[in-house]
Amino acid sequence: MDIQLLSAVLIGIALLLFLILKVKIQAFLALLIVCIAVGILAGMPASDILETMREGMGSTLGFVATVVGLGALFGGILEQSGGAKRLASYLLNKTGEKNAPWAMMVTGFAVAIPVFFDVAFIILVPVTYALSKRTGKSLLLYALPLLAGLAITHAFIPPTPGPIAVADILGADLGWVIVFGFIAGIPAAIISGPLFSKYISKRIFIAPDVFEDKDDYDENAAPSPGLIIAIIFIPILLIVINTLVGSPLLESTAIPESVLYIIALVGHPFSALIIANLIAWYFLGVRRGMQKEYLLEVATKSFQAAGIIILLTGAGGAFKQILINTGAGEMIAEGLNNSFFNPVIFGFIVAALVRILQGSSTVAMITAAGITSPVLAGDIYSISQVSVIVIAIAAGASVLSHVNDSGFWLVGQYLNLTEKQTFRSWTVMTTIIAFVGLGMSLLMWYVV
Range of 102-106, 303-307, 353-357 with top mean pLDDT: 102-106
Question: Please, which pLDDT band fits residue 214 given cuts at 50, 70 and 90?
Answer: very low
pLDDT at 392: 96
Distances (CA, A) of 303 to 170, 310, 338: 25, 10, 44
214 or 84: whose pLDDT is higher?
Answer: 84
* Mean pLDDT score, 415-425: 87
* Mean pLDDT score, 309-324: 78
Range of 134-138, 239-243, 338-342, 384-388 with top mean pLDDT: 384-388
Distance CA(112)–CA(121), nearest Å, equals: 9
Residue type, 411: V
> What are the backbone dihedrals phi and psi of residue 223, each rounded to the nearest 5 degrees, phi first?
-70, 160
* Mean pLDDT score, 207-212: 57
pLDDT at 111: 79
Distances (CA, A) of 410 to 101, 147, 397, 438: 20, 11, 18, 26
Secondary structure class of 72 (helix, strand, coil): helix
Q: Left, alpha or beta for 24 (phi > 0: left; psi -120 to 50: alpha)?
A: left
Short-list 165, 107, 104, 96, CA closest to 134? 96
What's the whole-number average pLDDT of the chain? 82
CB 352 within 8 A of CB 434: yes
Ranking 84-88, 228-232, 320-324, 429-433 by mean pLDDT, the lowest is 84-88
Short-list 64, 62, 266, CA closest to 158? 64
231 or 443: whose pLDDT is higher?
Answer: 443
- Cβ-based neighbour number of residue 410 at 10 Å: 17
CB 111 within 8 A of CB 150: yes
pLDDT of 134 strictly over 80: no
Ranking 67-71, 168-172, 255-259, 393-397 by mean pLDDT, the lowest is 67-71
Distance CA(425)–CA(51), nearest Å, equals: 46
| Dihedral over Cα of 331, 5, 385, 273: its sign | negative
pLDDT of 425 strictly over 70: yes
Distance CA(107)–CA(96), nearest Å, equals: 14
Distances (CA, A) of 122 to 116, 196, 415: 10, 22, 11
pLDDT of 250 strictly over 70: no
Distances (CA, A) of 50 to 11, 56, 67, 319, 351: 19, 10, 26, 11, 26
pLDDT at 183: 94
Termini Cα distance of the chain: 32
